[in-house]
Structure 1
Amino acid sequence: MLALREATVADSPRIGVIGRDSFGPTLSRILFPAHLHHLARTDAATEEAEWRAARNTRRIKDGKKTYVVVDKLEDGSEQIVGYAQWETPDSLPPTAKPQTASETEVDVLPPSLDQDALKEIFGLMEVVTEQTLGKEGHSQMWYLMILGVDPTQKRRGIGKMLVKHGLEQAAREKRDAFLIATPEGKYLYSLLGFEQVGEEIALGDVAHYAMLWKRPREEGEEVLN
């Protein structure tokens, strides 16, 4: 049985593994390229999972809203099968910009990670976000930083559960939502009401799409973003 709950720091190791396995065919092969694998202290796959776990922990401590879907098993145990992490207006200090390339400077980066590729990807995301949404970017929106689902658990509605949960909260706060989608995620986001804004962009050699979700407005209400 699937259930959604708020994530804790203790969930980070499992989240790191899911993140690595989710993005293996896309960004992971760019961020952890084969020619750097020999630099790994253990192995590149382990380093990536640990890096993603540490980054998840930092973001939780920074106030990023993080949720997991767990599969509750017959023996009473549970296994995390997907997660989503959102940056929201209340998770940003008053003078802070939304997530930017500077985030790459606060984590310990493993040797098998291509640091130049990471900075290039974050920098491009920042540029695309500002071009699409203006100077404020997504600072007044719910921004889906990352969505990961265990590849062995696909077609169970896990990603849909996680995204809908975030959108419902955004709607209660009278906020819109924004994300940058991979080709694999674009279809799901479209089904949930996101629309592509701007042209297709390439992060590394992988196509990505800036997508915006606008919550239903009530007649005469104040629009916050």
Structure 2
Amino acid sequence: MANQFVCCLLLLIAATSTYAQFTTHSGIQGGVAAPSGERSYVVSVKDSGGSIVCGGALYNDVTVITVASCLVFLTPENLVAGVNNDTKTVKIVAHLSHPDYGFYTNEHDVALLKLAESVSAEYVKLPSKKPVTSSAGIVTGWDDSNTLVDVPETVIARADCVSGKYGYDDDDVFDSNVCGLADNQACNAIEGVPLVSNNQLVGLLSWGNACSNSANPAVYTDAFAEKSWIESNVNSL
């Protein structure tokens, strides 16, 4: 739990300076350019100044799945979504965070956003089962020039993630999380960017220590663990 406490403490400090923890985001380092015209399920959530504050995944034509931690210090009504590879901006008209989201733990770090208009793009499916250990996925986010880039990741079992060799323990990573190891070192991915495998949403980046690499897992909200809540609330926004 100490890992998340430090993370949240940094967020609180940054929040006193116009949400600097979001606006100073410098972009992913270590990614490779996403295929041209693909990954249109990736959504950028932006503040009123146009800065990307977090990522998300398009679930249907009007719904974005993102992380609740994205909305803590911001006024969701002032946010907009960048869709279709950031070529179109759409207003956000409703939002809902998981009622059991834990600010200090990041447990159940998931939220839904409703768009003001229908979007034609790729949509992600929710997974039919828990992520399989050693399965491969792709995290997609933005580099320092706001270009979409991919980071290949390998899913590891929660038991392995909290075994002690990565610096995490049972109080850090919950059943509602999944861990991933970047195949190559990648730094500065922003909260909410999606981890996808076979067009299924494996998870959303929640938190992590330093750069993600073969020795340092990133911690994601497990889309399968939150599937029931998402499906129960997606039509009520």
Question: Which structure shows the bigger proportion of residues in strand conformation?
Answer: 2
**What TM-score, normalized by structure 1, do the two folds share?**
0.26
- Max Rg structure: 1
Report the TM-score, using the length of structure 2 for normalisation.
0.25
Give the structure with the higher percent helix: 1
